[in-house]
Amino acid sequence: NAGVTQTPKFQVLKTGQSMTLQCAQDMNHNSMYWYRQDPGMGLRLIYYSASEGTTDKGEVPNGYNVSRLNKREFSLRLESAAPSQTSVYFCASSGQLSGLLGNTIYFGEGSWLTVV
Amino acid sequence: KNQVEQSPQSLIILEGKNCTLQCNYTVSPFSNLRWYKQDTGRGPVSLTIMTFSENTKSNGRYTATLDADTKQSSLHITASQLSDSASYICVVSVGRGANNLFFGTGTRLTVIP
């Protein structure tokens, strides 16, 4: 059982380049999320998808777009990368929306992105 | 303002010793509180989740406590092992929905032989 798988693990981009982070889960979860983690700050939600076919903005959506391709896959796209987007990105999934009692969120292993 | 604060920021202990990590929150309305363990270079992994009606929950050598009145939680690690070296993140949930998790910045625990 792979859980949540995200690619690539590491990426270096030049300012202005675009790229897509891929994420897939094999737990038949309805909800998927993209977070970023920066030094000295807690994880911050970029976008989420409560269920297949829906996406919504999180706390820090500017500069990003997402696609819920199907129930398994949720991608994050940087259209024009900026140095401020240098961060560690985590994809996550849960059976239901994160606030419901007893619901566990499962995280991927992270993608380290550097924009120079 | 909804906030989650953890202390200490970092902690070094000897293998075999116990330690307690603290989490204070001002989140409202409270739904549940989770503790995650994040190894260096890895994603967070859930340790415990507690609702307002639960005071204590254990997961092996990890015991989490919750005082919903004072809005405080602690994570106690017993007989620490080198593999306990990681960041421990407190996450508080507000009501329903996906955009309702508030993450602490974590406590970095280092266990030395």
Q: What is the pLDDT of residue B70?
A: 94
Please tell me what DSSP assigns to residue B83: G
| pLDDT tens string A1-32 | 579 999 999 999 999 999 999 999 999 998 89
If you average pLDDT over every residue of chain B, what do you get? 92
B103 contacts B4 by C-beta, under 8 angstroms: yes
Nearest to B103 by CA among B14, B2, B13, B1: B2
If one compares B29 and A20, the residue with the highest pLDDT of the two is A20
- B97 touching A (Cβ < 8 Å): yes
Q: Is the pLDDT of residue B53 over 90?
A: no
Best residue in A10, A100, A106, A112 for a mutation probing chain B (most B CBs within 10 Å): A100
pLDDT in tens, A32-75: 999 999 988 889 999 999 889 999 999 999 999 999 999 999 99
Count Cα atoms within 13 angstroms, Cβ side, for A13.
25
- pLDDT over 90 (residue B31): no
Q: How far apart are CA A93 and CA A49, in angstroms?
A: 9
What does the pLDDT read at residue A15? 97
pLDDT in the model for residue B2 = 73
- Rounded to a whole number of angstroms, the distance from the CA of B93 to the nearest CA of chain A is 6
